[in-house]
A and B are shown apart, each in its own frame.
Chain A
Amino acid sequence: MKKLFLSLLATILFSTLSIAQNRALPSVDVITVTEERFNITDLENNGKPIVISFWATWCKPCKEELNTIAEVYEDWQDETGVKLVAISIDDSKTKAKVVPYVNASEWDYEVYIDKNGDLKRAMGISTVPHTFLLNSKKEIVWQHKGYVDGDEDELFEQIKKLAR
């Protein structure tokens, strides 16, 4: 057990270098709203920032966040060219509700479904909502757990910094 711990520590120390670098998206498949497979590293926004927001149809703060941004999304896009990607972690219990909910809410986001949590685990997400911001090289430069009223302002500040 001791040995194990030492090597664990050593691993973490050795890898501080790579932690300090910007982080890339893991190569994990999710499904599109029409059930096609999609590797998340294939996300594209022509060098403009991308926001990835993890949500679920049963998560109230998640819907609050995405509904709030939906109201200003056009302005955000005009100003910065940002693209928002909403990844639902709904499993087979609530998965059928994802597309009807998205359409009824008039969201103009790119939507994917991570139905058995593969991407969620690969990105180290323990609770939703969890929001990531990606730079022109699709590296994660900022992230935020949870959502309370007003958090969208901080996100937009970060997006503007990248778009500059």
Chain B
Amino acid sequence: MFKKITYTFIVSFLALNSFAQNNSGEIHGDFDLNMQSYQEDKLIGAKAADEIILNNAYLNINYTKGDFTAGLRYESYLNALMDFDDSYKGNGIPFRYAAYSIDGLEVTVGNYYEQVGSGLIFRSYENKGLGADNAMDGIRLKYSPLKGIYLKSFIGKSRTYFTYADGIIRGADAEVNLNEALNLESKTKIIIGQGFVSRFQADINPKFKLPQNVAAYSTRLNIINGGWNYSGEYAIKLNDPVGSLTTEVNNYANGNALMSNLTYSKRGFGIVVEMHRVDHMEFRSERAQEKQYIINYIPTLTKQHTYTLLALYPSATQTEGEFGTQIDVFYKIKKGSLLGGKYGTKIIFNYSRINALNGGSSFLNDNRKHNPMFISTKGEELYYKDINLEIYKKINKKIRVTGVIAKQSYNKDVLEGKTPGTYGIVESTIAIADISYKIKKGHTVRIELQELLADGGEGSWSMGLAEYTISPHWFFAVQDMYNWGNHDVSKQLHYLNVNCGFLKGANRIAIGYGKKRAGIFCVGGVCKEVPSSNGFSLTISSSF
């Protein structure tokens, strides 16, 4: 079925393309290859691969001609890198689509990615680096009958590795930009939206009568006035028991989530205040508890750190239940002032705190019923806390400095799914200095020094990085992480990595060698556990 459809798609590409001689369409795409060798290192727990080398590769092709587009993605896992689930196996074209738009109507058939509101009830997306891809396969319609009114509906099945989950997902969404729709000449802009998503899966549970159709809906509001912007969304998911055979496990309670943020900014200054409350809100493409079936997105309400040691203990949303707040302040001290100097100084402050819901998340079955208080922070179990300050300063034409200090509290038991009371909370203090020095035109050296002090977890770490870049083609970097504070002396190890790369226009080739530590790896706001590894890597990325 899969292959047949793909074949037809390709043939129609071909036909369209050769038929359109002079006014032909365009074909573009991109290619990515990630190859890694694995040597055993018992000390860091890195395993050798039987294949010696593992390889992931992707090729995207998009064809466009006027209002028509079609495309596909070829994926190759021979065999999949160790960080990836081994259900990614072999070659295939798991993604192909065709779409056209005319007079405000857009029709997509085949695979597509879609999001309802901010994603609380539905988001299908891909992140190749993390092996995440829950593309839909089905039909999607988008229609804008009048300016400011946007409707969409979709139906399909959700991808899980090389196959599709059992459930059928149906969704609809309406968004109205009141100012555009009603032609209002108001300074205040208001946008409202309403989304609905439902999953059908047959009930074959012999013991319990489970809902075959499970619905989720969300309402959102966005008000903008001058430098102010308020945005909020509230979502409810109706009862969705997993389908276990024991009474204790099935939870018939509804789930809900609220996210709300207010921002204000003007030239040189910005502030963001956010909160969210999540209660039993994991929505999956089928009645199962595994992570690969998740089809909604509840963003983590903490800063997305990029410095290694700031991201050593990262937070992740507890979709079963949490309450969180976050504040960001961006400020630029003016040029020419005492603290601003010749170029101005940038300051970024961030605070976030996440805790458990009162008495745990909502629960309902014949034996137990619980509804947590709406807001409760005092005395609740702390999941994560982060307070950090970043200062960026250009000293002169040659030197730029970034400094960061942070204090983090990380509930290792909850965030890593360990038995409560095993590790407790890891308290850490982190300091970072990042200095770059321009040697001559195009040549720059950058040094990063990072220090993390902690008693719990694996104890204290140091990290150093030296990078030499020659614009526009070359980079060389050497990095060492040293776990000098580990309570187990045999684990006070160095994780040394060397990398170099060549860039030219649309191509980038990089090779690396070294040890990677096991841990949670975060890219673009999503985190997952990766095993330790030790070996060579080759990455090629290219666009055409």
Given the known interface contacts A93-B299, A148-B472, A149-B444, the answer about A99 and B263 at a Cβ–Cβ threshold of 8 Å is yes
B299, A26: Cβ atoms closer than 8 Å: no
A8, B503: Cβ atoms closer than 8 Å: no
In the complex the two chains form, what is the Cα distance from A116 to B122 in whole Å? 12
- A143 CB contact (under 8 Å) in B10, B261, B505: B505
Asked if A78 is an interface residue, CB under 8 A from chain B, the answer is: no
Which residues of chain A from 48 to 90 have any CB-CB distance to chain B below 8 Å in the complex?
A: 56-60, 71
Which residues of chain A from 13 to 44 have any CB-CB distance to chain B below 8 Å in the complex?
A: 14-15, 17-19, 21, 23-24, 26-27, 34-37
The 3 closest A-B pairs by CB, nearest first: A100-B270, A150-B471, A104-B330
Chain B CB within 10 A, most for which of A92, A105, A122:
A92
- A15 CB contact (under 8 Å) in B24, B67, B300, B541: B24
B28, A23: Cβ atoms closer than 8 Å: yes
Asked if B418 is an interface residue, CB under 8 A from chain A, the answer is: no
In the complex the two chains form, what is the Cα distance from A136 to B346 in whole Å? 35
Asked if B79 is an interface residue, CB under 8 A from chain A, the answer is: no
A142, B268: Cβ atoms closer than 8 Å: no
Asked if B494 is an interface residue, CB under 8 A from chain A, the answer is: no
With a cutoff of 8 Å between Cβ atoms, the chain B residues found around residue A144 in the complex are 472, 503, 505-506
Asked if A3 is an interface residue, CB under 8 A from chain B, the answer is: yes
With a cutoff of 8 Å between Cβ atoms, the chain A residues found around residue B17 in the complex are 11, 14-15, 18
A97, B101: Cβ atoms closer than 8 Å: no
- B328 CB contact (under 8 Å) in A1, A24, A97: A97
Which residues of chain B from 3 to 29 have any CB-CB distance to chain A below 8 Å in the complex?
A: 3, 6-7, 10-11, 13-14, 17-18, 24-29
Nearest CB of chain B from residue A158's CB, rounded to whole Å: 10
Nearest CB of chain A from residue B50's CB, rounded to whole Å: 25
In the complex the two chains form, what is the Cα distance from A104 to B24 in whole Å? 45
Residue pairs across A and B with Cβ atoms less than 8 A apart, 6 shown, are A99-B229, A100-B271, A116-B114, A126-B128, A149-B436, A153-B471
Nearest CB of chain A from residue B94's CB, rounded to whole Å: 13
A24, B26: Cβ atoms closer than 8 Å: yes
Given the known interface contacts A100-B328, A104-B331, the answer about A92 and B299 at a Cβ–Cβ threshold of 8 Å is yes
A149, B332: Cβ atoms closer than 8 Å: no
Asked if B163 is an interface residue, CB under 8 A from chain A, the answer is: no
Given the known interface contacts A92-B118, A97-B272, A151-B472, the answer about A103 and B191 at a Cβ–Cβ threshold of 8 Å is no
Q: Report B107-137 CB contacts with A as 1/0, cut-off 8 Å.
A: 0000001110011000101101000000000
In the complex the two chains form, what is the Cα distance from A15 to B524 in whole Å? 34
Chain A CB within 10 A, most for which of B27, B267, B297:
B27
A7, B436: Cβ atoms closer than 8 Å: no
Nearest CB of chain A from residue B450's CB, rounded to whole Å: 14
Given the known interface contacts A92-B299, A103-B267, the answer about A8 and B113 at a Cβ–Cβ threshold of 8 Å is no
Known: A149-B436, A149-B469. 11 other contacts (CB 8 A): A4-B6, A7-B11, A26-B62, A97-B270, A100-B330, A105-B330, A105-B346, A116-B113, A116-B114, A127-B541, A149-B438
B508, A146: Cβ atoms closer than 8 Å: yes
In the complex the two chains form, what is the Cα distance from A97 to B123 in whole Å? 20
Nearest CB of chain A from residue B443's CB, rounded to whole Å: 8
With a cutoff of 8 Å between Cβ atoms, the chain A residues found around residue B304 in the complex are 57-58, 93-94
